């Protein structure tokens, strides 16, 4: 609009219109795009169900996870026991629900730990550069050279079994991924016009990092974290399967439950089926959601 010719009516109307219309931020914009993406919506539903089940397990579960009944062992699914029972007569449905709790808890905490540690390393390396960058990146390269599950096994072997150790072991394997991702984003953003513009005005390095680079580097991190949650859940089950899960063998952890059920694969396959199904659904859910987030948050798909 031209400044010289402010049509009286236009001037009167324009501000009101602008006020009414609540500005849509990038996040709400991205969310509406996410809902229009069918696979992502499926993922979102899976994950909502997964999280809901995990939180509400004590309410939904008909039996306690440790509750044993000597009568009904390895029972097939029925109305009383939706997923059947295991060797000790425990209700599999309840145990799968409580298992979701453990997977979610361990998975989320492990990924958050990895995100924080990796993010710190990446931000330092990208923000400071020079020899700090070289040293930090060579260390992450070393971590990245070791296969993830081997590294996790090594860490648990070193620190002994335990819930915290489990989380830490999984976190460490994903630190290099986050570190490299954030470092790369920051290196790219450092040369971007708006960061240069803020620098030319006199913004400090810290301000550039916190106000401009980190917020703009956040979306790939969120996408990556969602995708890694899927692998983390599989890792948790994998470590449990290898006997490196929670120290208490009775804990309803999906991997541990799989090991127990393995021996009855022929006689009672339903146990493996339902536990495996739970792992698959949650992993696929996070994968679909992560891919959907990548698409809806990618600024290149905008405009």
Residue ranges that bind other proteins, judged by CB under 8 A: 1-4, 6, 11-12, 14-15, 18-19, 23-26, 29, 134, 192-194, 196-203, 207, 212, 215-216, 299, 302-303
Tell me which residue of 97, 106, 108 sits closest to 53, measured CA to CA: 97
Closest to other proteins by CB, 145 or 201: 201
CA distance 106 to 231: 12
Closest to other proteins by CB, 29 or 248: 29
Closest to other proteins by CB, 11 or 150: 11
Closest to other proteins by CB, 71 or 202: 202
Closest to other proteins by CB, 36 or 207: 207
- Integer CA distances (angstroms), 270 to 73, 77, 84, 233, 282, in order: 13, 8, 7, 21, 18
Closest to other proteins by CB, 48 or 204: 204
CB of 284 to other proteins, least distance (A): 31
Closest to other proteins by CB, 11 or 35: 11
CB of 166 to other proteins, least distance (A): 35
Closest to other proteins by CB, 160 or 193: 193
Please state whether 74 falls in left (phi above 0), alpha (psi between -120 and 50) or beta: left
The 3-class secondary structure across the chain, one letter per residue, is CCCCCCCHHHHHHHHHHHHHCCCCCHHHHHHHHHHCCHHHHHHHHHHHHHHHHHHHHHHHCCCCCCCCCCCCCCCCCCCCCCCCECCCCCEHHHHHHHHHHHHHHHHHHHHHHHHHHHHHHHHHHHHHCHHHHHHHHHHHHHHHHCCHHHHHHHHHHHHCCCHHHHHHHHHHHHHHHHHHHHHHHHHHHHCCHHHHHHHHHCCCHHHHHHHHHHHHHHHHHHHHHHHHHHHHHHHHHHHHHCCCCCCCCCCCCHHHHHHHHHCCCCCCHHHHHHHHHHHHHHHHHHHHHHHHHHHHHCHHHCC
Beta bridge partners of 85: 91
Q: Cβ distance 57 to 26 under 8 Å?
A: no
Closest to other proteins by CB, 59 or 201: 201
């Amino acid at each position: 609009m031209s400044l010289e010719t402010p049509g009286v009516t236009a001037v009167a109307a324009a501000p009101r219109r602008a006020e009414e219309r609540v500005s849509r931020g990038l996040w709400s914009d991205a969310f509406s795009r996410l809902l229009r993406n069918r696979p992502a919506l499926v993922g979102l539903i899976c994950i909502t169900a997964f999280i809901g089940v995990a939180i509400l397990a004590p309410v939904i579960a008909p039996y306690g996870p440790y509750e044993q009944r000597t009568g009904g062992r390895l029972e097939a699914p029925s109305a009383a026991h939706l997923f059947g029972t295991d060797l000790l007569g425990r209700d599999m449905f309840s145990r799968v629900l409580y298992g979701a709790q453990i997977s979610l808890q361990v998975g989320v905490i492990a990924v958050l730990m990895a995100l924080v540690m990796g993010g710190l390393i990446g931000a330092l390396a990208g923000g400071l550069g020079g020899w700090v960058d070289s040293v930090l990146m060579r260390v992450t390269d070393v971590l990245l050279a070791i296969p993830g599950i081997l590294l996790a096994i090594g860490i648990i072997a070193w620190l002994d079994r335990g819930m915290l150790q489990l989380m830490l072991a999984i976190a460490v394997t994903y630190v290099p991924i986050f570190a490299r991702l954030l470092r790369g984003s920051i290196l790219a953003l450092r040369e971007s016009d708006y960061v240069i513009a803020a620098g030319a005005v006199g913004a400090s390095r810290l301000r550039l990092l916190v106000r401009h680079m980190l917020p703009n580097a956040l979306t790939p991190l969120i996408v990556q974290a969602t995708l890694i949650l899927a692998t983390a859940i599989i890792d948790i089950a994998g470590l449990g399967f290898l006997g490196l899960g929670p120290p208490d063998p009775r804990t309803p952890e999906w991997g541990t439950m799989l090991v127990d059920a393995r021996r009855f694969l022929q006689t009672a396959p339903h146990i493996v089926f339902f536990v495996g199904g739970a792992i698959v659904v949650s992993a696929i859910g996070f994968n679909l959601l992560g891919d959907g987030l990548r698409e809806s948050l990618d600024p290149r798909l905008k405009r």
